[in-house]
């Protein structure tokens, strides 16, 4: 089983990711976000001021309890004198609450729209960026781990945007508003509350730090677990054939236990923080009531912006403000979990978005061409069946070179990993219309050569020329458009048979797709399918045989009609009878094209114009079948069975 790489002990949150998330929110929704913030601020401010009205009502009641009417026992008259002022305060407060409800409803609905839109736009940006990444990235990263960016990591941002950020803004406004109201009524009592809040922040920092470390680890562990599970699902047949179920279970248990341990520790810190903060708030409430009562009893002088003496009309709302103050701090602490997870998730997302795209400095493009009898080339806006390379020059002029399929590799050296060379001084000359075959053991460098022609990787030394043009000067998309590729491992997509064939040329008509299928011998089995060319494929065409999938893959290359074809073990997974059918179609497909063939079966390459025998990254023999047989070297020994490729 593959070894699990050592886990990085990540201890610090990337706060820059939070700033980037917020920046993108305003970029995507430059009008809605300010509206949301205004609604949150106003609703939070309304939620902060009941203490003022409470103080006013208690003061009015206290005032009228000492009135002459009340003391004389005329309670009705006392109430008549007081009710106008009391009702006025209540009506104003009620109106403010109604406004607050409207504002909250508005911003929650807007945030629901913004959140889903934001995630949709971010997924589009992620996927678009991923399309521009080099093949090397996908070779070096597990596909399950990459999928985790689009599922778990994206979902952490949903919680952050829809709930955590609005609650943070709301709590901040409430805390600040309540703080100034407290200062207005009593500086001494405010200082007492601040001492308790400082202790709350200290506890939150200590416990939140531990929580952050393990929440970050948890996100990485989730990605690792998903990657492992996907890899094992793809390899179920191999696992069962070799009876590795117990070993796979053991490996999964290790990965799953890491996820369990990281999640357990993260939530142990997170779940403990809330109750602790709540109880600190309760203790602070009791202390405020005790000290406030003593200040009233002792008639201590009050230091405040209001200039009012400290009395029961201030103490009662002050106690409520204490609960409100500490309650909102607790709200913030409760949001720390989702914020930490979102920071971990966003860091991974932005790492994907920030991956360096595939470099492409080429300026030569592929265009439809009209070529007259004298060889003069003009560009055509419509499909002509002829192609040319379009060269822009510094002086603004354009020149054209006919696409013939002349491919040359001269003294090429290459390494996938620095210090571990794969190809040594490889030279390949393929004239237009030639069939060039590569033969050699696994790891000899056959597929690497075709990867370099496609510029999936760039060479370290040497030159590769296409129709006399250095391929570094050709735009990669145009270079690859001129090359047809059929791999040993087929990749079919969810859709109909017709759509999978048309994948080679999205502009192809149904008739052209059917003709391509006829050419490679796929039309026969397609015609016998329940829905013919409209038969749906799913799960990489798992309901088809390997040979049928390969025929569809070859038909897809045929409909692209490229001048150069690369066949990488295209028939190795097909039975002998099917191979003969495919080979006839391939021979017809290869007519007039430059073709590179990689094969283990020598019967596939015998009719090649040039056969190159590779060994450990070097070309040790070259020539046609008869010439190599006459040399009685490595190819001869392979052909006569003296030794095998492997």
Q: Which residues does residue 564 pair with via DSSP β-bridges, in sequence order?
A: 483, 594
- 47 is written with which tokens? 């939620």
Contacts 24+ apart (CB under 8 A), 82-89: 85/60, 86/57, 86/60, 86/61, 89/53, 89/56, 89/57, 89/60
Q: Output the pLDDT for position 117.
A: 92
Query: 491: part of which helix (H) or strand (E)?
Result: none
116-131 burial, b at 16+ Cβ within 10 Å, e below that, comes to eebbeebeeebeeebe
Whole-number pLDDT of residue 58: 74
Q: Contacts by 525-531 with C-beta closer than 8 Å and gap 24+? A: 525/551, 526/497, 529/497, 531/496
Instruction: Supply 620's token pair.
Output: 């040790």
- Cα–Cα distance between 10 and 18 in angstroms, integer? 17
Q: Return the pLDDT at 506.
A: 84
At residue 1, the pLDDT reads 39
Q: What pLDDT score does 258 carry?
A: 86
Looking at residue 575, its pLDDT comes to: 65
Show Cβ contacts of residue 610 under 8 Å, excluding neighbours closer than 6 positions. 429, 430, 434, 435, 436, 437, 622, 623, 624
pLDDT tens for each residue of 11-56: 455 677 888 999 999 999 999 999 999 999 998 888 777 777 777 7
Do residues 512 and 505 make contact, with C-beta atoms less than 8 angstroms apart? yes
Give tens-digit pLDDT for 536-568: 887 777 778 777 888 888 888 888 888 888 888
Cα–Cα distance measured from residue 347 to residue 356, given in angstroms and rounded to the nearest whole number: 16
Longest dimension (CA), the chain: 133
Torsion sign over Cα 53, 59, 62, 67: negative
CATH architecture of 432-458+470-640: 3-Layer(aba) Sandwich (3.40)
Position 287 scores a pLDDT of 87
Q: What is the pLDDT of residues 312-359, one digit of tens each?
A: 888 888 888 888 888 887 777 777 777 877 887 888 888 888 888 888
Q: Which of 339, 318, 369 is nearest to 270 (CA)?
A: 339
pLDDT of residue 585: 65
- 536's tokens: 């749906």
pLDDT of residue 620: 93
DSSP 326: H
Please report the pLDDT score of residue 238 as a whole number. Answer: 66
The DSSP-derived string for 272-330 is: HHHHHHHHHHHHHHHHHHHHHHHHHHTTPPP--SS-PPP-HHHHHHHHHHHHHHHHHHH
d(CA 41, CA 30): 17
DSSP per residue over 364-427, as a string?
BEEEEEEE-TT--EEE-SS--S-EEEEEE-TTS-EEEEE----EEEEEEEEEEETTEEEEEEEE
Which pLDDT does position 348 carry in this prediction?
Answer: 84
Do the Cβ atoms of 614 and 444 come closer than 8 Å? yes
Q: Do 422 and 596 contact (CB within 8 A), yes or no?
A: no
Residues in the chain with pLDDT < 50? Answer: 1-11, 643, 645-646
User: How far apart, in whole angstroms, are the C-alpha atoms of residue 203 and residue 281?
Assistant: 12
What is the rounded CA–CA span in Å between residue 313 and residue 89? 15
As a whole number of Å, the CA-based R_g of the chain is 37
pTM of the prediction?
Answer: 0.70
- The residues, any chain, with a CB within 8 Å of residue 582's CB and separated by 6 or more, are 520, 521, 547, 550, 551, 554, 570, 571, 574
CA pair distance 361, 268, nearest whole angstrom: 52
- Fold adopted by 15-353: ABC transporter transmembrane region fold (1.20.1560)
* Confidence at residue 3, expressed as pLDDT on a 0 to 100 scale: 42
Two structure tokens written together for 258? 């890491």
| Domain ranges across the chain | 15-353, 365-402, 432-458+470-640
- 636 Cβ partners below 8 Å, 6+ apart? 628, 629, 642
């Amino acid at each position: 089983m593959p070894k699990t790489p050592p886990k990085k002990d990540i201890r610090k949150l990337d706060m820059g990711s939070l700033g980037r998330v917020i920046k993108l929110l305003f970029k995507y929704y430059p009008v809605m976000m300010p509206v949301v913030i205004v609604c949150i601020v106003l609703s939070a401010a309304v939620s902060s001021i009941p203490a003022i009205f409470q103080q006013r009502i208690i003061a009015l009641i206290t005032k009228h309890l000492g009135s002459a009417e009340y003391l004389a026992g005329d309670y009705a008259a006392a109430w008549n004198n007081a009710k106008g002022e009391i009702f006025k305060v209540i009506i104003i407060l009620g109106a403010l609450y109604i406004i607050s409800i409207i504002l909250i409803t508005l911003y929650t609905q807007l945030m629901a729209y913004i959140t889903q839109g934001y995630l949709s736009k971010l997924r589009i940006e992620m996927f678009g960026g991923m399309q521009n990444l080099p093949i090397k990235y996908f070779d070096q990263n597990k596909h399950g781990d990459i999928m985790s960016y689009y599922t778990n990591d994206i979902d952490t941002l949903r919680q952050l945007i829809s709930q955590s950020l609005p609650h943070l803004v709301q709590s901040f406004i409430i805390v600040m508003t309540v703080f100034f109201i407290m200062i207005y009524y009593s500086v001494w009592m405010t200082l007492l509350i601040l001492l308790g809040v400082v202790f709350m922040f200290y506890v939150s920092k200590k416990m939140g730090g531990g929580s952050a470390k393990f929440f970050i680890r948890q996100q990485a562990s989730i990605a690792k677990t998903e990657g492992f599970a996907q890899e094992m699902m793809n390899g179920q047949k191999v696992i069962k054939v070799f009876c590795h179920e117990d070993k796979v279970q053991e490996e999964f248990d290790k990965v799953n236990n890491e996820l369990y341990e990281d999640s357990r520790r993260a939530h142990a810190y997170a779940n403990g923080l809330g109750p602790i903060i709540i109880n600190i708030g309760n203790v602070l409430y009791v202390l405020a009531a005790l000290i406030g009562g003593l200040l009233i009893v002792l008639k201590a002088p009050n230091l405040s912006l209001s200039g009012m003496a400290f009395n029961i009309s201030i103490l009662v709302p002050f106690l409520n403000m204490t609960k409100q103050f500490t309650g909102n701090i607790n709200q913030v602490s409760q949001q720390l979990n989702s914020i930490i997870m979102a920071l971990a998730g966003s860091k991974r997302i932005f790492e994907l978005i920030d991956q360096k795209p595939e470099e492409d400095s080429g300026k030569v493009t592929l265009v439809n061409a009209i070529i007259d009898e004298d060889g003069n080339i003009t560009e055509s806006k419509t499909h002509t069946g002829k192609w040319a390379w379009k060269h822009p020059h510094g002086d603004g002029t354009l020149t054209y070179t006919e696409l013939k399929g002349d491919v040359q590799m001269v003294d090429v050296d290459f390494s996938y990993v620095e210090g571990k060379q794969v190809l040594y001084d490889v030279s390949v000359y393929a004239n237009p219309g030639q069939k060039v075959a590569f033969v050699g053991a696994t790891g000899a460098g056959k597929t690497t050569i075709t990867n370099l022609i496609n510029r999936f990787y760039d060479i370290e030394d040497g030159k590769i020329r296409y129709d006399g043009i250095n391929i570094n000067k050709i735009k990669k998309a145009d270079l690859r458009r001129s090359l047809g590729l059929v791999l040993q491992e087929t990749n079919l997509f969810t859709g109909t048979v017709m759509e999978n064939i048309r994948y080679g040329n999205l502009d192809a008509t149904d008739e052209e797709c059917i003709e391509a299928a006829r050419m490679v011998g796929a039309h026969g089995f397609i015609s016998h399918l329940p829905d013919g060319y409209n038969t749906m494929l799913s799960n990489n065409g798992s309901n088809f045989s390997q040979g049928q999938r390969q025929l569809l893959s070859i038909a897809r290359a045929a409909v692209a009609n490229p001048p150069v074809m690369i066949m990488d073990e295209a028939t190795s997974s097909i039975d002998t009878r099917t191979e003969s059918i495919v080979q006839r179609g391939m021979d017809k497909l290869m007519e007039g094209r430059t073709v590179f063939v990689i094969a283990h079966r020598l019967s596939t390459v015998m009719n090649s114009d040039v056969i190159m025998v590779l060994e450990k990254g070097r070309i040790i023999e070259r020539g046609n079948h008869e010439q190599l047989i006459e040399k009685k070297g490595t190819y001869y020994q392979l052909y006569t069975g003296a030794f095998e490729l492997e």
